Amino acid sequence: MKKLILGLLMALFLAPAFAGTYQPVDTSKLPEVKQTKLGLYLSAPEAYKMKSEGGAKVLFIDIRTKGEFLFLGTPSVTDMNIPYMEIDDPASWDKKNNRYAMSPNSDFVSAVTALADRQHLTKTDPVVLICRSGDRSSRAANLLQEAGYAKVYSVVDGFEGDMGKDGRRDVNGWKNADLPWAYKMTESQAYIR
């Protein structure tokens, strides 16, 4: 009995030391850029749990650009990469944001619908969207809501997470929560248009 109590006490006091630096997002204080019309939000761990438990009945879409999907990795539970935005081709510079200019993917809603149809899902089944940090996924969720989708969730901390004080995305997000992800993708996950 003493060993059990000692073990529980050690676990209680040592767990925070090994828990990492992941900080969940307080959805009651979301910045406007991360808010959606439906108000359906998940943290990265909650999204992983929903997809793991719901399986094929939950559509999990990585909406980052093809380059982000290919070179930065993706959650292992991703059904498909369907970019909400893509870098303009030919490339131009966005002076306001100091990056390549990006434009919305005009095929986004129809590509999501085609994927849902292939998986025998309807517009009332859950759709989980993940981007880098939750900004684009909120806009994409609003677009799908306007198209009639009723349960579109935005992963508010995204794949890489929010920016920390030192300018790195090391606060939260899929990677910082140590959830399963990989660089390897399959042809069925690839957005080819």
* Token pair in block for residue 166: 């030192």
Q: Give per-residue pLDDT as tens, 29-45.
A: 999 999 999 999 999 99
- Provide the pLDDT for residue 34: 95
Q: What is the pTM of this model?
A: 0.87
**Residues 71, 28: Cα–Cα separation, whole Å:** 33
Note the pLDDT tens digit of each residue in 55-70. 999 999 999 999 999 9
Q: Is there a contact between 155 and 166 (Cβ–Cβ < 8 Å)?
A: no
DSSP category for residue 137: H
For 57-115, the DSSP string reads GSEEEE-S-HHHHHHH-EETT--EE--SEEE-SS--EETTTTEE-EEE-TTHHHHHHHH
Token pair of 114 as six digits = 């085609």
Task: Give me the mean pLDDT over the 92-106 stretch.
Answer: 95
